[in-house]
Amino acid sequence: MSGELSPRQRQIIRKRTRSREVDPSEMVGELNIVPFLDIVVNLIIFLLMTAATLAFFSQIEARLPEYGRGVGKRGTKPDESLNLNVTVTPSGIIVSGSGGKLEPGCETTTANRVLTVGKKPNGEYDWEALSACLTKVKSQFPDEEQAVVSADPVVEYQYLVRAMDVVRARGDKPLFPTLLLSAGIR
């Protein structure tokens, strides 16, 4: 009797030697990407919600320029406002007003193409020089509160926001707190 197997032993042998069909997800060469897709979908939802929340809380308060006529009543001159414009370009910053563009140093104006504040040798914008220039302008026009800020389309958004911060105030001293955004000109 030692050569014969018990029914229990036969059942175990049949179970272990039975060929079975391999599940398609277990085949060699194929990856199961369903868990990966679940993670990616969850990440996309999370990133969209984060972006929507940040966009809601990081809005910039600005007004668009209003359309109006240049001359009021007949025989009167248009108001003598500064019309300060600060334009951020890839090569530097241009400050202009009703009298023309300010030359470097912010002392004189010109009608030529000129950068009022060029970039530093390391390639960064010179925000201190822009702040000093705007302080000189403010000293000549102490009642002026408004400025128009624009940027070339290739300038990164962070530099436009930084320019807006510099135009608004120098430290805790306000310069031109009312800002208008304008489209950049190419």
Q: What is the pLDDT of residues 84-96, one digit of tens each?
A: 888 888 888 888 8
DSSP code for 66: P
Closest by Cα among 57, 88, 83 to 164: 88
| Cut 0.75: pTM above it | no
Report the range of poorest mean pLDDT among 21-30, 72-81, 129-138, 157-166: 72-81
Residue range 35-71, pLDDT digits in tens: 999 999 999 999 998 887 776 665 566 666 666 555 4
Rounded CA-CA distance 78/91 in Å is: 34
Closest by Cα among 123, 108, 117 to 88: 117
